[in-house]
């Protein structure tokens, strides 16, 4: 290798880290021919004591889901029996070894990570990935996920990729290094070393200058010049074969080959690169003998049975006539066994329309192992279909699949081709349903989706019951998320449309939730409460949909609206475990934030922090942009972190609310501001913050704020506002009937009661709330009761209540409320013992997660599966934690971590 000192040192360090038992990830980014493949070859040839596995992208396979990943893992699949059951099944499914629904992409990622870690337990392993810009989307996403989760596993991931925006977006966040051209001196030495005859220095300078030091261009230009041109005795061509002209140079080299050789080279360009037997069967079908490849080998176009460089492969395929390409694909279609590949080759062999091949593509789409493949098969099937309505429905199916994989631009394109030819009302309504999803996910704004869906129902209805209910459920979900920002229709319009539907014969979780929220939004809480209760009960027992992203939010809104802390905890715990088992990271990311809110309510702030931290880590693992602190706003408020609360609330109100029009996060931020102001004793400000929530009354936050609004209004001297909030609470809490609801109702009655009646009501509130897990509200009742006792002149009794409140607030970390209790205590004449803060051991978020799970008896393998890392990474974090905590065993963890 000529030059490349910086890259060689970087890669030597990369290999040494892996060899030493750590992990390393590196993305080499550069233009075609710049030397990425040569650098990967150098690692493969010099990595003594390290096992190398290799894969690469191929243009012909970008639509075949998990094809690139299969090439990488094929040498290790005999170890798949070592994987946990869900992971083993996931890999077997995407590699076509077993049937079944497509698993979550990130479960495949975890299975890949676990399998590689099992290999690395015997010897360090380096995965070399070339031409990543041509990998199928699923393989690229899985490898990016693996790269972000590597830590202390003895695994290296080295990826070569062109400067391709789409591929680099998937690889976002991974360490990268730009590979530029050789330095002028190194480039001259390379030209001199490869020139077949005397080289004039001025000729060398021009070659180096015009190629920019690109090694492939240097070699090809030097090889293309005559002896006289190299020696300076003959004029050089005006345009040297570089850049786009380099492809033309390769094309000219191939065009002079014999016809059978050209046909065989084109076959190599179209065929999968990992099946030599398939190649020769197709060649036989074309009537071409293997010996026909010899001229291509002699010309330097082919090395072994592979085209020498991807640039040559793409140039050969692009230059071939349509008839020649169809002939090659026809041959491959005849000899390919795998159904999806066979269908694709047959489709590429067709000129015009072919309904038989279109049907074959549709069947292949049903069994395709990746979303991108399904979308491609549906699209191509539509293009080959002769019947216009059938073609339109296939384009509609393609659009629906493109939405699922997040390519809303492609979905909109297919939808535009489908819509004019859809004849059935149900199909036209389905198109509008997809249009709403394109609008929602394409812009990131849910506010316009309900209007599109309701318009489709009124224009193309009546539809069958399940379809209509599914569309209204999507409209309801979008409307609940958008809240007051819903455009074109109101959430009440959605609720009224849902109320007009007949009940479902076999109601799902979504059916029950739709009926419940329709009643709730229509203002009939007495009818809504039992329906909400049934929806929560259903979610505690029935299976969730794949990924279950929406159910976590819906379940939490329903449970909170009922003040059902037991149901809230049960649903969220079950949801979290389901999503972890499924590897459903997208849904889990949302659920973790909701679980954190529940943890805050029950006073477990450290656990809430850990859940928020894990959600942040999962965003990074999935390559998503940073979340910001808007989701942590309530935790900050309870912790009394005023500046951070206001900054997070501003983010939620300004960006998530006014800009993205997600009213649900805006409402949550407003509630957090109410909590903050109450903790700080700013009652008028707390009432002002509650005003919008009282007016909008959104499910969940609308009920949560009622007791806080009563407290703020009473303390601010606004009896009218207090009575308004209390009357709503008094009409709903008995209907709910939970201890949480009844405890808050008793507390608010006490706040409004005459002195002779208040004490019994405070005691009732404490008795009811003590039956719940909601430690925050219980501590607040002790605080309010203590404040009331002090104002009645009963200082000794007040001390007892205030001390309980102070100790509980201090233990959970509710700093502002603890300070409020402390001031009241001092006003009774009591001294307040300062709690000695625990030593700061500075555990990272992942170390704390690992330590907590280990302290509860989880094994390394169980922790690894739960946190989407490897067992060796868990062991690494545990060892670091032991050193930081100055302990020597897992048994000691429970004693040193916060309870």
Q: For residue range 83-123, what is the model confidence (pLDDT) as tens digits?
A: 988 899 999 999 888 888 888 888 999 999 999 999 999 99
Write out the H or E segment, with its range, that includes residue 129.
strand 125-130
CA–CA dist 278, 271 (Å, integer): 8
Average confidence score pLDDT of the chain: 90
Residue 431 CA to residue 426 CA, distance in Å, equals 9
Helix (H, G, I), strand (E, B) or coil at 666: helix
Handedness of CA 57, 63, 64, 70 (dihedral sign): positive
Backbone angles phi, psi at 29, to 5 degrees: -115, 125
Angle at 478 between CA 473 and CA 479, to 5 degrees: 95
Measured between alpha carbons, how far is 685 from 718 in angstroms, rounded to an integer? 12
Q: Rounded to an integer, what is the distance from CA 168 to the centroid of its chain?
A: 16
User: Per mean pLDDT, which of 29-33, 270-274, 813-817 is the most reliable?
Assistant: 813-817
Listed in sequence order, the residues at least 6 apart from 695 whose beta carbon sits closer than 8 Å to its beta carbon are: none
125 in Cβ contact with 116 (< 8 Å): yes
Q: Which residue has the tokens 């970008």?
A: 62
Is 425 a residue whose pLDDT tops 70? yes
752: pLDDT strictly greater than 60:
yes
Q: Is the pLDDT of residue 289 over 80?
A: yes
Q: 481-497 pLDDT, tens per residue?
A: 999 999 999 999 999 99
Q: What is the pLDDT of residues 702-715, one digit of tens each?
A: 999 999 999 999 99
- Indicate the DSSP class of residue 61: G
Whether residue 462 has a cis bond before it, omega within 30° of 0 = yes
The residue whose two tokens read 């709903």 is 732
Mean pLDDT, range 569-583, rounded to an integer: 87
What's residue 581's pLDDT? 82
Confidence of residue 392 (pLDDT cuts 50, 70, 90): very high
Quickly count: other Cβ atoms within 10 Å of residue 327's Cβ: 18
272 Cβ partners below 8 Å, 6+ apart? Answer: 58, 60, 61, 67, 278, 341
226, 689, 106: which is closest to 91 by C-alpha?
Answer: 106
Is the confidence at residue 893, as pLDDT, over 80? yes
pLDDT class for 899, splitting at 50, 70, 90? Answer: very low
Strands (E), 108-192: 125-130, 155-161, 176-178
Q: Concatenated DSSP letters for 316-348? A: HHHHS-HHHHHHHHHHHHHH--SHHHHHHHHHH
Give the pLDDT confidence score for residue 552 in this predicted structure: 63
Residue 824 CA to residue 278 CA, distance in Å, equals: 83
Sheet with 155-161, side-by-side order of all strands: 51-56, 125-130, 155-161, 24-29, 176-178
pLDDT at residue 556, rounded to an integer: 84
pLDDT in tens, 211-242: 888 898 888 888 888 898 888 888 887 777 77
Dihedral through CA 53, CA 57, CA 60, CA 62, nearest 10? Answer: 110
Give percent of the chain with pLDDT exceeding 90. Answer: 60
| Length of the chain as a residue count | 899
* 185 contact partners, CB below 8 Å, separation of at least 6: 3
Give the three-class secondary structure for 51.
strand
Sign, CA torsion 231/232/238/244: positive
Largest CA-CA distance found in the chain, in angstroms, rounded: 114
The residue with greater pLDDT, 845 or 459, is: 459
Average pLDDT of span 314-328: 91
What pLDDT, on the 0 to 100 scale, is given for residue 545?
60
CA distances from 579 to 214, 592, 865 (A): 47, 10, 12
Report how far residue 108's alpha carbon sits from residue 143's, in angstroms, rounded to the nearest whole number: 10
Among 443, 466, 467, CA closest to 453: 467
> What is the structure's pLDDT at 898?
59
Block residue for tokens 């006073």: 603
d(Cα 17, Cα 403) in Å, to the nearest integer? 40
pLDDT digit string (tens) for 57-89?
887 778 888 989 999 999 999 999 989 888 999
Range 72-99 burial, b when 16+ CB lie within 10 A, else e:
bbeebeebbeebbebbbbbbbbbbeeee
Inform me whether the pLDDT recorded for 20 exceeds 60.
Answer: yes
Is pLDDT above 80 for 596?
Answer: yes
- Strand, coil or helix: 632: helix
Return the half-sphere exposure (C-beta side, CA atoms, 13 A cut-off) of residue 673: 25
- The residue whose two tokens read 């080299």 is 253
**Contact at 8 Å (CB) between 60 and 271?**
yes
pLDDT at 42: 92
On the question of pLDDT at 274 being above 90, the answer is: no
Q: What mean pLDDT is predicted for residues 362-387?
A: 90
The whole-angstrom separation of Cα 507 and Cα 498 is: 14
pTM for the model: 0.85
Which pLDDT score is estimated for 889? 84
């Amino acid at each position: 290798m000529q030059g490349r000192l910086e890259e060689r040192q970087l890669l030597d360090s990369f290999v040494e880290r892996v060899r030493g038992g750590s992990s390393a990830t590196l993305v080499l980014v550069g233009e075609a021919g710049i030397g990425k493949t040569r650098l990967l070859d150098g690692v493969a040839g010099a990595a003594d004591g390290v096992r190398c596995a290799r894969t690469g992208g191929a243009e012909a396979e970008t639509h075949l889901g998990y094809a690139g990943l299969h090439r990488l893992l094929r040498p290790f699949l005999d170890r798949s029996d070592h994987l946990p059951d869900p992971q083993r099944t996931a890999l077997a499914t995407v590699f076509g070894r077993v049937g079944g629904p497509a698993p979550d992409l990130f479960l495949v990622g975890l299975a890949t990570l676990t399998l590689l870690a099992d290999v690395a337990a015997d010897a360090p392993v380096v995965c070399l990935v070339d031409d990543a810009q041509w990998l199928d989307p699923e393989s690229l996403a899985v490898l990016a996920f693996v790269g972000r989760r590597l830590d202390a596993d003895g695994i290296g991931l080295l990826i070569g990729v062109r400067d391709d925006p789409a591929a680099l977006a998937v690889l976002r966040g991974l360490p990268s290094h730009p590979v530029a051209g050789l330095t002028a001196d190194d480039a001259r030495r390379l030209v001199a070393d490869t020139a077949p005859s005397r080289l004039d220095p001025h000729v060398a300078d021009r070659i180096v200058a015009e190629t920019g030091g690109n090694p492939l261009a240097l070699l090809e230009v030097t090889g293309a010049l005559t002896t006289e041109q190299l020696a300076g005795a003959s004029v050089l061509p005006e345009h040297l074969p570089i850049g786009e002209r380099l492809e033309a140079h390769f094309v000219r080299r191939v065009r002079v080959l014999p016809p059978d050789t050209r046909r065989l080279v084109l076959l190599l360009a179209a065929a999968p690169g990992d099946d030599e037997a398939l190649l020769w069967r197709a060649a036989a079908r074309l009537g071409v003998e293997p010996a026909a490849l010899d001229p291509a080998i002699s010309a330097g176009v082919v090395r072994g049975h592979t085209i020498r460089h991807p640039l040559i492969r793409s140039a050969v395929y692009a230059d071939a006539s349509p008839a020649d390409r169809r002939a090659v694909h026809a041959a491959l279609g005849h000899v390919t066994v795998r159904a999806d590949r066979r269908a694709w080759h047959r489709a590429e062999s067709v000129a015009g329309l072919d309904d038989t091949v279109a049907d074959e593509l549709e069947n292949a789409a049903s069994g395709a192992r990746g979303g991108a493949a399904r979308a491609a098969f549906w699209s191509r099937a539509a293009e080959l279909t002769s019947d216009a309505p059938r073609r339109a429905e296939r384009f509609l199916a393609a659009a629906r699949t493109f939405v699922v994989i997040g390519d809303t631009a492609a979905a909109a394109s297919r939808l535009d081709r489908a819509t004019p030819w859809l004849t059935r009302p149900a199909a036209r309504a389905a198109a509008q349903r997809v249009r709403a999803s394109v609008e929602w996910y394409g812009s990131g704004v849910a506010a316009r989706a309900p209007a599109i869906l309701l318009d489709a129902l009124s224009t193309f209805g009546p539809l069958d019951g399940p379809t209509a209910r599914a569309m209204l459920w999507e409209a309801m979900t979008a409307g609940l998320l958008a809240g007051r920002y819903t455009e074109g229709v109101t959430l009440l319009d959605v609720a009224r449309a849902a109320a007009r539907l007949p009940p479902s014969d076999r109601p799902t979780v979504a059916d029950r939730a739709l009926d419940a929220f329709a009643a709730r939004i229509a203002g009939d809480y007495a009818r809504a409460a039992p329906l909400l209760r049934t929806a929560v009960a259903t979610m505690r027992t029935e299976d969730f949909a794949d990924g279950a992203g929406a159910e976590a939010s819906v379940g939490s809104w329903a449970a909170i609206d009922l003040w059902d802390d037991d149901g809230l905890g049960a649903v969220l715990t079950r949801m979290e475990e389901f999503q972890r088992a499924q590897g459903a990271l997208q849904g889990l990311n949302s659920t973790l934030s909701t679980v954190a809110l529940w943890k805050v309510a029950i006073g477990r702030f450290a656990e809430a922090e850990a859940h928020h931290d894990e959600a942040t880590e999962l965003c990074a693992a999935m390559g998503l942009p940073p979340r910001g602190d808007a989701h942590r706003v309530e935790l900050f408020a309870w912790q009394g972190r005023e500046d951070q609360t206001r900054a997070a609330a501003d983010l939620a109100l300004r960006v998530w609310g006014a800009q993205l029009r997600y009213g649900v996060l805006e409402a949550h931020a407003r509630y957090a501001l109410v909590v903050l102001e109450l903790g700080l004793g700013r009652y008028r400000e707390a009432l002002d913050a509650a005003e919008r929530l009282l007016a909008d009354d959104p499910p969940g936050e609308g009920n949560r704020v009622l007791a806080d609004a009563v407290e703020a209004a009473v303390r601010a001297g606004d009896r009218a506002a207090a009575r308004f909030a209390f009357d709503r609470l008094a009409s709903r809490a008995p209907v709910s009937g939970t201890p949480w609801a009844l405890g808050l109702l008793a507390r608010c009655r006490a706040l409004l009661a005459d002195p002779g009646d208040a004490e019994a009501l405070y005691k009732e509130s404490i008795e009811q709330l003590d039956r719940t897990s909601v430690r925050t509200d219980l501590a607040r009742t002790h605080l309010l009761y203590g404040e009331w006792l002090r104002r009645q002149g009963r200082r000794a009794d007040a001390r007892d209540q205030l001390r309980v409140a102070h100790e509980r607030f201090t233990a959970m970390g509710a700093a502002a409320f603890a300070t409020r209790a402390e001031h009241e205590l001092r006003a009774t004449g009591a001294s307040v013992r300062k709690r000695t803060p625990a030593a700061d051991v500075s555990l990272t978020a992942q170390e704390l997660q690992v330590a907590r799970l280990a302290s509860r008896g989880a094994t390394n393998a169980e922790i690894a599966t739960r946190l989407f890392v490897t067992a060796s990474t868990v062991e690494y974090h545990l060892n670091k934690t032991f050193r930081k905590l100055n302990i020597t065993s897992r048994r000691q963890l429970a004693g040193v971590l916060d309870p």
